[in-house]
């Protein structure tokens, strides 16, 4: 009868693992979401500062510059990572009205998160 308590203990541990596993995953996920939201807010602040004089930054506002596409349209044409790459190298567009910007890595991270927050998932 000595083995029984051990077995019970093992079952309790296993049960705890089964019960707590998803809790840990959910906690991780909401942490990721919080981080993502924080980055997106940072990205929004950057585009408001550097880009909003021409590009629409929200889901239904109009671009101040008539030829500058709203970011919500740009994200449907390019994956956010590709845009970020272009930004990291300093955006060069053929358009004379569009100045060249060079983004710092942490700004790019924010910019991607911001673009993703406008992305196809949000627009569904
Ligand atoms: C002075 C106005 C102005 C500012 C400021 C500006 N843009 Fe633009 N941008 C434009 C215009 C105009 C176009 C369209 C160019 C064209 O179609 O020839 C454009 C095009 C783009 C495109 C290409 C879209 C496409 O479909 O090819 C991207 C990406 C872009 N801008 C990103 C940005 C980002 C990021 C910022 C801020 C860091 C920014 N722009 C700031 C005027 C501006």
- Show me where the domains of the chain are located: 6-123
pLDDT, residue 60, reads 95
Give me the mean pLDDT over the 13-17 stretch. 74
Assigned fold of 6-123: Cytochrome Bc1 Complex; Chain D, domain 2 (1.10.760)
CB-hemisphere CA count at 13 Å for 78? 14
Which atom of ligand 1 lies closest to the CA of 78? 26
Atom of ligand 1 nearest to the CA of 97: 1
Prediction pTM value: 0.77
Of 73, 82, 80, 78, the residue nearest 55 (C-alpha)? 73
56-100 tens-digit pLDDT? 999 999 999 998 999 999 889 888 888 877 777 766 555 567 677
Average of per-residue pLDDT values in the chain: 82
Q: Residue 61 in contact with residue 71, Cβ under 8 Å?
A: no
Higher per-residue confidence, 105 vs 64: 64
Question: What would the DSSP string read from start to end of 56-99?
Answer: --SSSPPPSSTTSPPHHHHHHHS-HHHHHHHHHT----S-TTS-
Distance 92 CA to ligand 1 centre (A): 9
Residues within a 6 A CB radius of ligand 1: 47, 50-51, 53-55, 65, 67-69, 74, 77, 83, 91, 93-95, 97-99, 101
């Amino acid at each position: 009868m000595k083995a029984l308590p051990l077995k019970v203990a093992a079952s309790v541990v296993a049960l705890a693992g089964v019960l707590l596993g998803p809790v840990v995953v959910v906690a991780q996920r909401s942490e990721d979401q919080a981080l993502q939201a924080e980055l997106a807010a940072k990205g929004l602040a950057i585009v408001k500062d550097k880009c909003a004089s021409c590009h629409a930054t929200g889901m239904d506002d109009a671009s101040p510059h008539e030829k500058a596409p709203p970011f919500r349209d740009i994200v449907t044409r390019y994956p956010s990572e590709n845009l970020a790459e272009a930004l990291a190298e300093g955006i060069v567009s053929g358009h004379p009205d569009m100045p060249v910007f060079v983004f710092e890595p942490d700004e790019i991270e924010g910019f991607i998160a911001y673009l993703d927050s406008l992305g196809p998932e949000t627009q569904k």
